[in-house]
């Protein structure tokens, strides 16, 4: 089998009924039951019935994306799928990767990501922060444009805008206070960006405005026992593979208010001899990014029985 890696998606790929294609698959049912027990609610019903607005609440989005990704991963394993050479996750997806690599159990991770989501929402009330995707511009120019926009508010201003997700060579997400993000969009378009698209999110994730949430998360992480990873996990914040529990905790703490260095993560995975990257969980966002980051890498997605069969054939 060709060397491959599994990567796990973050917020934005959720949809009502995203696990329906699995039918009554016993592995998926067991995963939903475990998560529901850990969260004290029927998470399967929430995923199946929605409504869409409920799934879009970050306190629901984070656990449902975790559960859906872990379910797909477990089906792969139960179906005799080989162990990947590495795993990684985009933003929230890093928690799915932690479960896949054996660092956390699903029973630990589901309440943890809900806590993380609540802390993030409390840190910056809805409407105060914003995020936007900048398309068709080099990441360094995006960073320079953010600095230019922030400078217009003066040195003593609390307005902030930062580059927070380096998704592919021509797509960088910015985040911060609403006024500063809007100003940065103006500046970046004037500087040559093809598009600046406001994102429908409830908080400025991965920006420095998330530091209060990160502080709460650090306390929560300190109370959890972490196992040694069974599969190398390339983290977002340092693009590093860590085995020490305290270093993993610290990386998760800093990830909450630091950038997702996805382009570098994909390059690091490629450097481990991987030729194919499989996105495990709802959607095909990361599979598309893979091909834009490195045209020699194969990107595919695993999210239902049909795509499972396709991935097995691709890797055979």
Q: How many helices (H) and strands (E) are present in the chain, helices listed first?
A: 13, 8
Asked whether 194 and 141 are in contact (CB, 8 A), the reply is: no
Q: 173-200: string of b/e by CB count within 10 Å (b at 16+)?
A: bbbbbbbbbbbbbebbbeeebeebeebe
Q: Is 25 a catalytic residue?
A: no
Asked whether 165 and 135 are in contact (CB, 8 A), the reply is: no
Backbone angles phi, psi at 135, to 5 degrees: -110, 145
For the beta carbon of residue 217, count every other beta carbon within 10 angstroms.
23
Beta strands in the chain (DSSP E): 4-8, 86-89, 129-135, 161-168, 171-177, 195-198, 276-280, 298-302
Asked whether 126 and 204 are in contact (CB, 8 A), the reply is: no
Q: 142-162: string of b/e by CB count within 10 Å (b at 16+)?
A: bbbbbebbbeebeeeeebbbb
Q: Which residue has tokens 């795993």?
A: 87
Cα–Cα distance, 214 to 212 (Å, whole number): 5
Please measure the distance between the N-terminal and C-terminal CA atoms of the chain and give it in whole angstroms. Answer: 5
Q: Which of 25, 90, 206, 207 is catalytic?
A: 206
CA proximity to 129, closest of 35, 243, 209, 222: 209
Q: Is 206 a catalytic residue?
A: yes
C-alpha 204 chain-centroid distance: 14
Q: Which of 13, 90, 91, 207 is catalytic?
A: 91
Q: Is the bond preceding 51 in cis, omega lying within 30 degrees of 0?
A: yes
171-177/86-89 β-pairing: unpaired
Active-site positions read: 91, 206
């Amino acid at each position: 089998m060709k060397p491959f890696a599994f990567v796990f998606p973050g917020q934005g790929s959720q949809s009502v009924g995203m696990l329906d294609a699995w039918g009554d698959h016993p592995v998926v049912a067991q995963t939903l039951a475990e998560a529901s027990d850990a969260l004290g609610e029927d998470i399967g019903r929430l995923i199946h019935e929605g409504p869409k607005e409920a799934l879009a609440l970050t306190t629901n989005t984070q656990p449902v994306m975790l559960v859906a990704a872990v379910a797909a991963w477990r089906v792969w394993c139960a179906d005799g799928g080989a162990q990947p050479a590495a795993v990684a996750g985009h933003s929230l997806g890093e928690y799915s990767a932690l479960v896949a690599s054996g660092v956390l159990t699903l029973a630990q991770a589901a309440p943890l990501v809900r806590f993380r989501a609540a802390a993030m929402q409390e840190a910056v009330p809805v409407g105060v922060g914003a995020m936007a995707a900048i398309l068709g511009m080099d990441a360094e120019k995006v960073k320079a444009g953010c600095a230019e926009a922030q400078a217009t508010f003066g040195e003593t201003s609390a307005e902030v805008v930062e580059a927070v997700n380096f998704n592919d060579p021509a797509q960088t997400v910015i985040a911060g206070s609403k006024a500063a993000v809007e100003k940065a969009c103006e500046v970046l378009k004037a500087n040559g960006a093809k598009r600046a698209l406001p994102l429908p999110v409830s908080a400025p994730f991965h920006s420095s405005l998330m530091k209060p949430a990160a502080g709460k998360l650090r306390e929560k992480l300190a109370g959890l026992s972490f196992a040694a990873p069974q599969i190398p996990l390339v983290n977002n914040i340092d693009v590093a593979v860590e085995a020490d529990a305290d270093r993993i905790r610290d990386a998760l703490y800093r990830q909450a208010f630091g950038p997702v260095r996805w382009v570098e993560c994909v390059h690091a995975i490629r450097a481990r001899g991987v030729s194919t990257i499989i996105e495990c969980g709802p959607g095909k966002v990361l599979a598309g990014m893979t091909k834009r980051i490195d045209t020699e890498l194969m990107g595919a997605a695993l999210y239902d029985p049909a795509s499972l069969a396709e991935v097995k054939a691709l890797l055979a």
